[in-house]
Amino acid sequence: MGECAVLKGLSIDNTPEFESHLQKICQQLPEWLTQTSEWYTDEGIEKMIGLIGNTLPAIQFGVETALLDLRNGGKRIIFKNDFSAGKTGIPINGLIWMGKPEFMRQQIDEKLMQGYTCLKLKIGALDFDKECELLGYIRKQYPAEQITLRVDANGAFSTGDALEKLKILAQYDLHSIEQPIRQGQWSEMASLCRHTPLLIALDEELIGVIDKKQELLQTIHPQFIILKPSLLGGFHHSLEWIKLAEKMNIGWWITSALESNIGLNAISQFTASLNNPLPQGLGTGQLYSNNITSPLEISKGYLHYNLARSWSDILKMERSIKNYF
């Protein structure tokens, strides 16, 4: 089972033709499986992902996840590691959503009480001075040694005032800022990364960059990149980004992108296999009121795979399908 997680406004394959593309590929998959010798190897799966085409990253992600699940027996174990065995957790950041200052302050207090040691705040939608007040509110209570703060501007700053805003934000001992200016402005982003007093992480900048991964990293040379497998074409493409980044001493972490627990489970197990000690951007599946039940749970700032919990919704679905046939 895999999830094709299309996100409106970000996914390059979010088009009216998406479902017809998906239906066609699902019809072709059995033939591809029989024609690909040793399809269950990493090389065989990579070959089939290539047949889908890089213009359909969400489908690449879904098919790759399903094939890896099939390889491991169809039990939602996508990668076998200590995380999927329920032995270790993944440190994650607590996400603070944009809203009125009072609402954001409430979220901050709740996350800190829940045991998070890394918080990520969305900024750029409110008055900048108000946002700085919120950062100051946290720092007055918790120094950087206790709480790591990340901010995500989602490209909200203009090229004219971005550097000055970064200088102001740096006063709050932040870990990093994601995508300070809109993506696609390589020379402007490169200049920011050279002169910034605050570490910069590229996020949306990576989406849709298919054949120019190395060129982008060499041109901009950010301090970090953030990988969203469902928007980048799955795990194979994410690993390509990671290998290139590590050669250039560029840091990285992985983030989910509003997937349900099917996609989040796959991304989490993939993340755990890479042993990155930084807090990861996982756990957004809890936003859904109708999410699929899963063994995933969050405790004290860590994402865990709790073997005592089951995929009950999927088990019911499987039983109903068997009864149908």
Query: What per-residue confidence (pLDDT) applies to 282?
Result: 95
Query: What per-residue confidence (pLDDT) applies to 325?
Result: 58
**Rounded mean pLDDT of 89-101?**
87
Query: What per-residue confidence (pLDDT) applies to 226?
Result: 98
Mean pLDDT of the chain: 93
Per-residue pLDDT reduced to its tens digit, 45-92: 999 999 999 999 999 999 999 999 999 999 999 999 999 999 999 999
The burial class, CB within 10 Å (0-12 / 13-18 / 19+), for 245 is buried
Query: What per-residue confidence (pLDDT) applies to 35?
Result: 86
Task: Answer for the pair 236, 229: CB distance below 8 angstroms, yes or no.
Answer: no
- Distance from C-alpha of 177 to C-alpha of 153, rounded to nearest angstrom: 7
Query: What per-residue confidence (pLDDT) applies to 322?
Result: 67
Query: What per-residue confidence (pLDDT) applies to 157?
Result: 96
At 252, phi and psi to the nearest 5? Answer: -160, 155
**Rounded mean pLDDT of 234-263?**
96
Work out the pLDDT band at 318, boundaries 50, 70, 90. confident
Query: What per-residue confidence (pLDDT) applies to 238?
Result: 97
Active site residues: 122, 228
Which percentage of the chain shows pLDDT scores above 70?
98
**Rounded mean pLDDT of 171-198?**
97
- What does the H/E/C string look like for the chain? CCCCCCCCCCCCCCCCCHHHHHHHHHHHHHHHHHHCCCCCCHHHHHHHHHHHCCCCHHHHHHHHHHHHHHHCCCCCCCCCCCCCCCCCCEEECEEECCCCHHHHHHHHHHHHHCCCCEEEEECCCCCHHHHHHHHHHHHHHCCCCCCEEEEECCCEECCCCHHHHHHHHHHHCCCEEECCECCCCHHHHHHHHHHCCCCEEECHHHCCCCCCHHHHHHHHCCCEEEECHHHHCCHHHHHHHHHHHHHCCCEEEEECCCCCHHHHHHHHHHHHHHCCCCCEECCHHHHCCCCCCCCEEEECCEEEECCCCCCHHHHHHHHHHHHHC
Q: Which residues contact 70 (CB under 8 A, 6 or more apart)?
A: 40
Per-residue pLDDT reduced to its tens digit, 190-247: 999 999 999 999 999 999 998 899 999 999 999 999 999 999 999 999 999 999 999 9
Query: What per-residue confidence (pLDDT) applies to 166?
Result: 98
Task: Answer for the pair 14, 7: CB distance below 8 angstroms, yes or no.
Answer: yes
Q: Which residues contact 278 (CB under 8 A, 6 or more apart)?
A: 91, 251, 253
Query: What per-residue confidence (pLDDT) applies to 324?
Result: 57
**Rounded mean pLDDT of 150-179?**
96
**Rounded mean pLDDT of 24-43?**
90
Query: What per-residue confidence (pLDDT) applies to 100?
Result: 80
